[in-house]
Amino acid sequence: MTSTHDGAVRQFTVGYDDEGVRLDRWFKRHLPQVGFATVSRWARTGQLRVDGKRADPADRLTTGQVLRVPPAGSAVKVGQGPRPRTPLTDEQIDLAESMAIHRDRAAIVLNKPPGLATQGGSGTYEHVDGLLDAFAPDGPRPRLVHRLDKDTSGVLLVAATAGSAAFFSKRFSGRTARKIYWALIVGVPSVDEGLIELPLAKQPGTGGEKMMVDQTEHGMPARTRYKVLDRAGNSTAWVELQPLTGRTHQLRVHMAAIGHPIVGDGKYAGQEAFLSGSISRKMHLHARRLIIEHPDGTPLDVTAPLPHHFAASMEQLGFREEDGEDVDLGPPEAPREVKKAAAKAHAKQYRKERRGERRRRVDGPGQTGKPTSTRAPSRAGAAKPAPRSGPAKGAPSRSGPSKSGAPRSGPPKSGPPRGRPR
């Protein structure tokens, strides 16, 4: 982003890092001391403009656009963030760089080791998020766009800029990103390939640290596709897992729920998750591969090598990594927008069919809803007309007054007159 002075007004050129960012978030990022109320007032009074046109706080910016900021915002230092950066040690910088397996101007892909948390929390001080300054000591700070469990290893995507963070986040939320995991599980499923559909919810009393299957209205939909790649007798299987939804601990809970917990996952299976012999007691769940659209329009396809304990267990059990490289991944999950459009079209077609059914019930078989004859119905079969309150105001009466003096509501009766003839 660049800025220029035009008298007391300041102008900023939107940079690549801010592609697709909302205008109010741009202020929060670059001019944090200008509150949302001020931004809204500037927009309402026409003082805030993008490429010379009035702007709204919800407008999204495009690289190269010129943003006009009123004088009150020019005293704020551009790029000043709310959180100062903590200097990293040489060991931390080396750890961060050793994890990187792919880097470009939009993305940094890491191979996260098991035991390292993705983000900080209560009592967690060493985490991936705290190491990201190593990749941009002087530029915009990289941002996490998804996460892995502490004991899960493998592919972790980090956005190099704010613009790419918004781009990748949309792909994850829209479920167009494909995540492929490898796992060693206890036992062998009776069906080699299938789809697990079990809703999940937080387990009460665990503070949200543990999930459970919940098939009530409180459970959130969760789907996992699995495929057995190889087996070691009846004791252990090597499986490929694809989460089609992104629930916390989804893969771990689903595999434990079908009676085949992930090896080393004592949290959800207790002692049943550990194999005898020299197999490591660490969790054997690895984010092997990520396929996601890149901002430049080409797919980003990255594979992460196995951690040492996982590779050693594979060798001891007689599994070969190359046997899992060319496995058919199956059809991709339809994007959420596509599903919504299909559901809307189905509902529209259903309503149309229902209207047709109602017409057929009213008209009877073979009827189209139009009268087939112009002959008036007989008195015996005619429905009684609704009572009238009298002729319209100003309309001439077609009959004489009634006994009460009010005009008659219907035509005069035919036939001989009543009473004595005069």
Query: What pLDDT does 3 receive?
Result: 56
Q: pLDDT per position in the chain (422 positions), as tens?
A: 555 555 568 888 887 667 778 888 888 878 888 888 888 889 888 889 999 899 998 888 887 889 999 876 444 444 444 456 778 999 999 999 999 999 999 999 999 999 999 988 767 789 999 999 999 887 778 999 999 999 999 999 999 988 888 899 889 988 899 999 999 999 999 999 999 999 999 999 887 789 999 999 999 999 999 999 999 999 999 999 999 999 999 999 999 999 999 999 999 999 999 998 899 999 999 999 999 999 999 999 999 999 999 999 999 999 999 999 876 666 666 555 555 666 677 677 767 777 767 666 666 655 555 544 445 444 444 444 445 544 444 444 444 444 444 445 455 555 555 555 54
Q: Are 10 and 69 in contact (CB under 8 A)?
A: yes
DSSP 8-state symbol, 399: S
How far, rounded to the nearest angstrom, does the alpha carbon of residue 297 sit from its chain's CA centroid? 21
Q: Residue 322 in contact with residue 303, Cβ under 8 Å?
A: no
> Locate tokens 């009035």: which residue?
54
What does the block give as tokens for 67? 């943003």
Show the tokens assigned to 108. Answer: 């940094």
Rounded-to-10 torsion of CA 345, 350, 351, 357? 150
Residue whose tokens read 């200097």: 87
Q: Whole-angstrom Cα distance, residue 374 to residue 382?
A: 14
Q: Give me the amino acid identity at 339.
A: K
Cβ contact 160:106 at 8 Å: yes
Tell me how long the chain is.
422
Residues 6+ away with beta carbon under 8 Å from 404? none
Task: Write down the pLDDT at residue 64.
Answer: 82
What structural domains does the chain harbor? 2-73 (3.10.290.10), 90-336 (3.30.2350.10)
> Does the predicted TM-score (pTM) go above 0.85?
no
Angle at 75 between CA 22 and CA 164, to 5 degrees: 25
- Which residues belong to the active site? 149
Measured CA to CA, the distance from residue 14 to residue 56 in angstroms comes to 16
Looking at residue 9, what is its pLDDT? Answer: 82
Contact predicate 184/231, CB 8 Å: no
**Dihedral over Cα of 244, 245, 248, 254: its sign:** negative
